[in-house]
Structure 1
């Protein structure tokens, strides 16, 4: 019966991140620097709120867009943190993680034959949805621009078919962010054009060198903002994301969300409310620790002679494989596992523009990072 399946689905591949991580998971004593999973536990007060929700039998459907108390808290959060103004009754949807938010946003705005401009390299979660909608991903190679997806990297690819531009900052896999001036320049150019911006800001609370700015501050009427609690509050398994958009856009996205999942998990919504209110600054202590790790890893990588851009946010390094190593990124990652038992993600998982690189996650303890980098250094000396 496989021949009857949707060809667009059959042509989609499992994420290269997961595929490689699963492939090496059985290797004994391997140090995994792969998955973007915070190594901190969910804050105790947030877990307690989830437990209380179960005890209080808060286990029924909620409003399709999420409880009004959580939507109010989400709007207050982005207003306080990023100066964004959204109406909780009509301009925010609580989703099953940022992944669902990306999915329902793209399924609402894309039609057959339209185009989406993305930076390359990029997280692999956008292209499959784009292709399933019969739209076309158009990549801009940002490798020679310090991984910055600035206006001059966007303009050459805009056509009459362009429907959306994806701005994922801070970036997975590069950790690079755009500053206020760069975002304002993009907003000024796109204003009044029939082009959406999908601003994936899931790592917004993990910005190190500068304040996080959202392009929605300058271009709200054309922007769909994606955020959530997975990275900021170490709540990956709780699956709570947020989609912010003007009412005339959000009301249509809500229909797709409704028929997709009905509503986000009610218990997780209670925990999320606690995270956004009592725990509004929970990310700060984690960010401080991540910044220490980032600085340590950067110093070690430079000492080893790697060519690398220091990340502004998130918890990744995107590292160029030395020209002296005649291997593609997948074979390099396999050899690293086989020779010194360190797992990283091949750059090819992040589009063809990631080939020749590998991603290293520093969302793990300093001891793990030290041992992992020692092994990589040993590998290079061989």
Structure 2
């Protein structure tokens, strides 16, 4: 077997979700708060656009970088909403945002190069870095999700990449302009690329995320997708906007692996961008209501929990091993993800997705409270 994957663990979130589903199949009453997948159906206008594309014969290979009209629509969206002046020809449509993350690490990292990931950080960043031959340098974020002021001490001659994720998975933290500017200045000083994962940008509560690509366009790869904002997780469609040299390398990887994203799915994505946005606003309203219930419930059982400003995760602090807490909660019928999956400094947290019905959330909190308080 190839030794390339020896240091790569399987996705903890997917593994625990599979375990939870297996227990459900066995007849166990389990409420799952593992996966970061909206529980809403894809808006009907998006489904209808994909159906129309299917029926009109959009079932052949698409251009490797994506259909031109979608690439142009994404470029227009980035200009209007994110202040990024990126031409459509520098936009790569991918089979999900996760694929784009791997393309970036594989395109930029040589054997032994280092990439900075903030802890807590999404589980697949570390895996993508390792599969690309690189080394992850974990930098612990502050408890409120802000970045440490001494970030420069983690940079050396091997550092090639910094990964940002705001709003953050798993904490829900949103970086302010000061933090974004600090990373941009560090990039300028050391010639570093920045991968900005903005998949949760539309799921925010009373704040507006800042796109670092508006500050350092020549050194930023901006990644986004449709899974979260438009409830299109199973469609597997995302995109990246990159400087031309990086774009060319990413395109090569896509050409020789996925070939291109699914053709008719791209027409659904085009409708998502160009069509009405009321479904996004409605989901955000409901997520905010759920967030407030979850944070209050966690605090009522004595757990410390920052209020998430974006995404749909709560990140409560626990005493002791997060793995043991996750096992304990699972025995009580609640599926959660241990913090250890999100970085070496996060074993004192657990992640609870509130992309579930309010009824399930309230029932889950009751079961959790019994575990924590014994009452």
TM-score after normalising by structure 2: 0.95
CA distance in 1, matches of 2:235, 2:110: 31
Cα-to-partner distance string for 1:92-121 (whole Å, 9 max, x where unaligned): 000010010001111000001110011112
Alignment partner, residue 21 of structure 1: 17
Q: Does 1:166 align with 2:163?
A: yes
Question: Is 2:241 the partner of 1:249?
Answer: no
Q: Say if 2:180 and 2:212, in contact at 8 Å, map to a contact too.
A: yes
Q: Is the 8 A contact 1:113 1:161 kept in 2?
A: yes
Q: Does the aligned pair in 2 maintain the 1:117–1:154 contact within 8 Å? A: no
Q: In the alignment, is residue 204 of structure 1 matched against residue 185 of structure 2?
A: no
1:238 and 2:230 correspond: no
Q: 1:122-201 counterparts in 2 under 5 A?
A: 122-142=121-141, 144-150=142-148, 152-191=149-188, 193-201=190-198
State the 1:267 CA deviation. Answer: 1.0
Aligned residues between the structures: 370
Distance 1:181 1:298, change over 3 A: same
Cross-structure match for 1:315: 312
Give the alignment of 1:1-382 within 5 angstroms.
Answer: 5-27=1-23, 28-88=28-88, 90-142=89-141, 144-150=142-148, 152-191=149-188, 193-280=190-277, 282-321=279-318, 323=319, 327-338=320-331, 340-382=332-374
Kindly provide the CA deviation profile for residues 36-92 of structure 1, in whole angstroms up to 9, marking residues without a partner as x: 11011000010011111111110011111100100111111222222222100x210
SS of structure 2 residue aligned to 1:225: strand
Deviation of 1:153 (Å): 4.7
The superposition leaves residues 177-226 of structure 1 with CA deviations (integer Å, 9 ceiling, x where unpaired) of 10123212321232153210010111011121311211001011100011
Partners of 1:310 and 1:155 lie apart in 2 by 28
Q: Measured at CA, do residues 70 and 281 of structure 1 come closer, stay the same or move farther in structure 2, by a change above 3 Å?
A: farther
Mark the runs of 5 or more structure 1 residues left unpaired by the alignment.
Answer: none
Contact 1:221/1:246 (CA < 8 Å) preserved in 2? yes
1:279 & 1:154 partners in 2: Cα distance?
41
**Partner Cα separation in structure 2 for residue 165 and residue 78 of structure 1:** 21
> How far did 1:147 drift?
2.4
Deviation at 1:145, TM superposition (A): 4.1
Note if contact 1:16-1:348 (Cα within 8 Å) is conserved in structure 2.
no
CA-CA distance at 1:124 after TM superposition: 1.1
Q: CA deviation at 1:282?
A: 3.5
Deviation, structure 1 residue 356:
1.7
Would the aligned equivalents of 2:328 and 2:371 in 1 still touch at CA under 8 Å?
Answer: no
How far apart are the structure 2 equivalents of 1:82 and 1:307?
33
1:30/1:337 contact within 8 Å kept? yes
Q: Give SS of 2:18's match.
A: helix
Alignment partners' CA distance in 2, 1:68 and 1:273: 10
Shift of 1:24: 2.4
> Secondary structure at the residue paired with 2:103?
helix
After TM superposition, give the deviation of residue 287 of structure 1 in Å.
Answer: 0.8
Q: How far, CA to CA, are the matches of 2:16 and 2:196 in structure 1?
A: 27
Taking the aligned partners of 1:158 and 1:229, their CA distance within structure 2 comes to 33
Give SS of 1:353's match. coil
Over the residues paired in the alignment, what is the CA RMSD in angstroms?
1.4
1:34 and 1:360 in contact (8 A); partners too: yes
CA pair 207-12 structure 1, distance change in 2 beyond 3 A: same
Q: 1:137 Cα deviation (Å)?
A: 0.5
CA contact (8 A) 2:114 2:158 kept: yes
SS at 1:208 equivalent: coil
C-alpha separation between the residues in 1 aligned to 2:112 and 2:372? 46
